[in-house]
Amino acid sequence: MALVNDRLSAIQCRIVFDGPAASGKSTNLRVIHARAPREARGELTTINGSPGWSGDFEFLALQVGEVEGYRLFYHLYAAPGGPGAERCRVALLWAADGVVFVADSHRACFHANLQRSAELRQVLAARRTNGAGVPLVFQYNKRDLPEAVPVPLLEARLNPDRLPSFEAVAVSGEGVFPTLQALSDLLIRQVRMLREESIRASNP
């Protein structure tokens, strides 16, 4: 759940970019870092995997405006997609307030997309405690490739619940901000709902 700091009037949400190896998760963060206003973002940082975690991941902090008088911060993480980085990926997903699933549209990655999205759902289902669910959106990346799988097929197999989804060519920036915006809309709605619930609970 988002961290709410009443003393600092700040809300912090952790957003994890998940997906198979080399689908473009880090590229999304690079684009956001390059295009976000300088005063609203921190540095793009690579965090080296600690022993037993194998897998480096990127981190970027963004300030994205205000919700009901509270400054809203997003902490973005690009999970490592490679084999052997499961622990790191699961740890990031376990703490995520929202997830962008970055699928690789190349047809050679079709099964890797299915496998990784099934793993993601397993983690999210295991940690669901309050019935609210973790906001999730899909990004079909690498649409520039001639070998790209048609979007309706990706949509049918990866996103049967028809959550928000976006085509992207992250390497050129296309689709990156619409994806983030859609997740942001879901997150803000959830933060508002949780704040209302906690205010109601403290003023019965």
CB of 172 to Mg ion, least distance (A): 17
**Among 26, 165, 179, 184, which residue interacts with Mg ion (rule: CB under 5 A)?**
26
What's the 3-state SS for the chain? CCEEECCCCEEEEEEEEECCCCCCHHHHHHHHHHHCCHHHECCCEEECCCCCCCCCEEEEEEEEEEECCEEEEEEEEECCCCCCCHHHHHHHHHCCCEEEEEEECEHHHHHHHHHHHHHHHHHHHHHCCCCCCCCEEEEEECCCCCCECCHHHHHHHHCCCCCCEEECEHHHCECHHHHHHHHHHHHHHHHHHHHHHHHHHHCC
- Site size for ligand GTP, by CB under 6 A? 19
CB of 134 to Mg ion, least distance (A): 21
**Among 171, 173, 186, 194, which residue interacts with ligand GTP (rule: CB under 6 A)?**
171
Nearest residue to ligand GTP, scored by beta-carbon proximity: 81
**Among 113, 117, 139, 141, which residue interacts with ligand GTP (rule: CB under 6 A)?**
141
90 belongs to the binding site for ligand GTP (CB under 6 A): no
Site for Mg ion in 63-92 (CB under 5 A): 78
Q: Which stretch binds ligand GTP (CB under 6 A): 24-32, 59-67, 113-121, 147-155?
A: 24-32
CB of 26 to Mg ion, least distance (A): 3
Taken as a whole, the chain contains a residue count of 204
CB of 128 to ligand GTP, least distance (A): 25
Closer to ligand GTP at the Cβ: 2 or 182? 182
Site for Mg ion, rule CB under 5 A: 25-26, 78
